[in-house]
A = this chain, B = another copy of it.
Amino acid sequence: MEQNAKILVVDDEERIRRLLKMYLEREDFQIEEAEDGKEALQKALEDDYDLILLDLMMPGMDGEEVCTELREKKSTPVIMLTAKGEEANRVHGLEVGADDYIVKPFSPREVVLRVKALLRRSSTTNFVQTQTKTSDVLVFPHLTIQKDAHRVTADDKEVSLTPKEYELLFFLARSPDKVFAREDLLKEVWNYEFFGDLRTVDTHVKRLREKLNKVSKDAAKMIVTVWGVGYKFEVEQE
């Protein structure tokens, strides 16, 4: 597995760096930081990283420049972070040699997934395809989630979910039986600058259950309320 990969996080905002660090370390990645383009380039050249998360807009040398210069020497995989307004630059970023880009504000979950995806991609190109693509499809007794296709089927019938509903379900289903507090769900599934009401989660759970229920009672039952604690995705066992 690509676990324990070494990742360089580059952003001028300390807050963002910390956030990324926190979430990525939780996945057992090894994180180093750089707070400007110059430092980033220096580190990236000195050391061999498995991946670089690179903010586009930075004072001094911006992400684009870093990427261009880096590419003259190395082919370390790069994910570019772009603020929403800068989205136009996106293609530019890819042109410059970035492998993927993520638009701010991102959700922590998204970043982790994209990082893993890119690591997987960049490692398989060099090796024979031993990777059986972990968890691209989650299959449970009455429910199947196809990650890439954003497709959910309950008892073989398709359920059409909105993005948030899908993400919520996917997140829960990724750690079966584990209870998540509403707070945790807000932190993980929503993006980092969302500070809304906890009831928001309830509402989404309700809608999710509703849709699942129309198609399969059994599938709907998998989303379980744990009173006083939160929600979990439970796989029936007996």
Residues of chain A at the chain B interface (Cβ within 8 Å) = 4, 14-15, 18, 22, 25-26, 28, 30, 71-72, 75, 88, 90-92, 94-97, 99, 121-122, 124, 126, 131, 146, 148-151, 156, 162-163, 177-179, 183, 187, 193, 195, 226-229, 232, 234, 238
Best-buried of A88, A146, A151, A232 by chain B (most CB within 10 Å)? A151
Q: Are B162 and A227 in contact (CB under 8 A)?
A: yes
Q: Are A149 and B163 in contact (CB under 8 A)?
A: no
Cβ-neighbour of A15 out of B88, B97, B195 (below 8 A): B97
Closest to A21 in B: B75
Closest to A183 in B: B90
* A178-B148 contact, Cβ under 8 Å, with A97-B18, A195-B91: yes
Q: How many Å from the CB of A121 to the closest CB on chain B?
A: 7
Set of chain B residues within 8 Å of A75, measured between Cβ atoms:
18
Set of chain B residues within 8 Å of A96, measured between Cβ atoms:
15
Q: Are B177 and A151 in contact (CB under 8 A)?
A: yes
Cβ-neighbour of A179 out of B148, B187, B228 (below 8 A): B148
Q: How many Å from the CB of A122 to the closest CB on chain B?
A: 8
Cβ-neighbour of A163 out of B91, B193, B227 (below 8 A): B227
Q: Are A71 and B14 in contact (CB under 8 A)?
A: yes
* A146-B18 contact, Cβ under 8 Å, with A4-B126, A163-B229: no
Q: How many Å from the CB of A123 to the closest CB on chain B?
A: 10
Set of chain B residues within 8 Å of A97, measured between Cβ atoms:
14-15, 18
Q: Are A150 and B4 in contact (CB under 8 A)?
A: no
Cβ-neighbour of A228 out of B149, B162, B177, B232 (below 8 A): B162
Set of chain B residues within 8 Å of A15, measured between Cβ atoms:
95-97
